[in-house]
Structure 1
C-alpha cells in the first residue's frame, strides 16, 4: 500500500504556487470547458472568433488573450465553409491557427491525435472540438456517459474531468429566438460567475459586448503597489506583518491588515518576482518573519527607472 502523501496547513499557506494561466483573461483558464447553446444560436462564430483572437493575440469580448497556437476541430464543416467564415472575420491569415474536419473519437484515438499535435506545437493554448457529439464513442447521453467520455482528457489538459466533470461552462442564450441579442452565462472553478450581454454584429460576424462592466479596483493591487514603492526605496525588509504594515504607511494611506499580508504575498509571489521582489516567509523562535529583497536588474516594469512612483500610478499596472 502506498504511503499517503500529505502537506501541512502551514506549508500550503506559505508556499508560492504557480498562478492559474488564462488563455482568455478571466474567462478561459487551464482545463476543460463546455460552450453550450441552442442550435444555430451562433456558438461556432464565437468559437472561431476565440480561436482567431488567441492565435493573433487580440482581444475577444473586450478581454485580453494569451497568444499561442489554436486548434479548431470543425467536425460538422468543410474546409470551403471554414474558408468562407474566416474571410468574414479577417483578411489576414495567421500561421498559429489550425483546423481539422475529421478526427478519431474519444477513447478511439483522439487523445493520441491531440498529443501528437501538441508535440509539434509546444505553444498550443487551446483546442476547440465542434461538436462534442461528433467525437463521442456512443449515443448514450446519460450523466455517467458524459463523465466517462470527457474524463480521458485529463491526461491532455490537466482537467479534473458536461456539468460535474468540467472546469467551467459557457452557455449562450438568445434573449429572443432570432433577435441576435444574447447573454453568455459563465461559471467555473477558476473564473468568476458572470453574465455577459452580447449582440451579434452582422457586418463583423462577431459577438460583441453591449455592456462591458468596469473592473473593480483590486485591494491586492493597492497592497502590491504600496509594497513596490516602499521596497524600491529601501531594497530590503525583514520583520513581522505588523511591522511591514507600519512601514507601508509612509507610502500609502490605505489600511492593510496583518492577517492578510502573508496571504497577499504568497498569492502574488510570481507577480512580485516580475517586479524584482524576492519574498521569503521564515518561522523563527521569536515568530514568523517576512523577508523581502528588491533587485532592480530583475525588475521588468516600466517604473524601475522612475525616481518618483506613486501607488495610484502602479495600481493599474500591478
Structure 2
C-alpha cells in the first residue's frame, strides 16, 4: 500500500534545520571527496578531522564546534599518520583526544574484525560524541557482500548504490557526517561536468548527499575545491596547503558569497531576455535540478532574483516583459 501525503499537508509540516559539522560546508549525511592521485586529498580529509576534533577554526576561516572524530586511514599505517598529525599540530600543540584513528587494521582496532557496517554502527553507538567519520579510501573500505545484500549478477551501478546507500543510512541514523575519500578517472573528459569524472558508475554521484572535487597540480601548493550538494549551494573554493599538510581557504576565495553557480544563473537569464524555469536552467547548466532549485530559492531570498510567475524566475531588474497572468497570480 502506498503511503501518500497531499501537497497541502506537506507544506504545513515543520522540519528541523539541516545540521552541519562544518557550517555551510559539511552537513550531516554522506559526502564524497574525489581527486586525482597526489592532489593531497587525504591531507584535506585529515585537516578537517583534526580541526573538528580540536574545535575552533577549520580551513583557516570557519569556526566549528568541537566533536569527536573517527578517522579510518585504510591506506596509511600508524607511523605515517603520526608524522602527518605532528606536522599539522606542531610540537607545542595539544593533540586532541577526541580524534580516534583506525589503520588497516590491527585486531585491537575499535572496529573489531574489520570495517564492516555492523562494526561502524557499534562504534558510533558506543561513542555518541563522534560527529564526523572519515573513510580513506572508498576502495579500501569493504562492506560485507552478504550483509549488504549484493547478488553475484549485480552490475557496478547497483553495487555502488547499495553500498553507499547503507553508508548514508548510517550517517542519517546516527546524525553524523561521513566523508569518503575517493579517486577521479585517469582519463578525464575535456568538457562537461567535472563531477562526471568521479571514478566508478554514476551511482556514486546519484547516491551521496554532497560531492567534492579537489583539483591541484602535484607540485603546486594551491588547489581548488568544487562542491555540489542536494541541499546547499554549490561552491568553488581557492585553497592552499602548508608545508605541514594543513589546508586552508585562500584569502581570495569568497566563501559563502556569490558562487559561480549563481553567476551562471544570472548570465543565462540575461542572455535569454525572459524568465526561465528551474528545469530549463538545470538542463542548460547540466546540473542537478534539486541543487538549482535550492540556489534559486536562496537567490530570491537574497534579492538577486524574483519570482514573476508560476515556476518562473527573472533577474533583479525583471529582465523581461513577461506579463503575470491571473493563473500565475494564483500560484
Alignment TM-score, normalising by the size of structure 2: 0.58
Superposed, which structure 2 residues align to 1:1-318 within 5 Å?
A: 2=1, 4-61=2-59, 62-90=61-89, 91-102=93-104, 110-136=116-142, 142-158=156-172, 162-174=204-216, 176-202=217-243, 204-210=244-250, 211-213=252-254, 215=256
The more displaced of 165-174 and 7-16 is 7-16
Q: Is the 8 A contact 1:69 1:123 kept in 2?
A: yes
Contact 2:69 2:130 in 1 (8 A): yes
Query: Measured at CA, do residues 38 and 216 of structure 1 come closer, stay the same or move farther in structure 2, by a change above 3 Å?
Result: closer
Equivalent pairs counted in the alignment come to 211
**Deviation of the 1:50 alpha carbon:** 0.4
State the shift of 1:8 in Å.
3.1
1:196 deviation in Å? 0.3
CA root-mean-square deviation: 2.8
CA distance in 2 between partners of 1:38 and 1:83 (Å): 24
CA distances 1:253-308 after superposition (whole Å, capped 9, x unpaired): xx9xxx9xxxxxxxxxxxxxxxxxxxxxxxxxxxxxxxxxxxxxxxxxxxxxxxxx
CA distance in 2, matches of 1:59, 1:141: 43
TM normalised by structure 1 equals 0.60
Q: 1:36 Cα shift?
A: 0.6
**CA shift for structure 1 position 183:** 0.5
Give 4+ residue runs of structure 1 displaced > 4 Å after superposition.
Answer: 214-217
2-structure distance, mates of 1:114, 1:198: 31
Q: Is the 8 A contact 1:29 1:190 kept in 2?
A: no
Partner residue in 1 for 2:264: none
SS of residue in 1 equivalent to 2:70:
strand
Deviation at 1:60, TM superposition (A): 1.6
Question: Which structure's CA Rg is the greater one?
Answer: 1
Q: State the SS of the aligned residue for 1:47.
A: helix
Q: For residue 47 of structure 1, report the CA deviation from its aligned partner.
A: 0.6
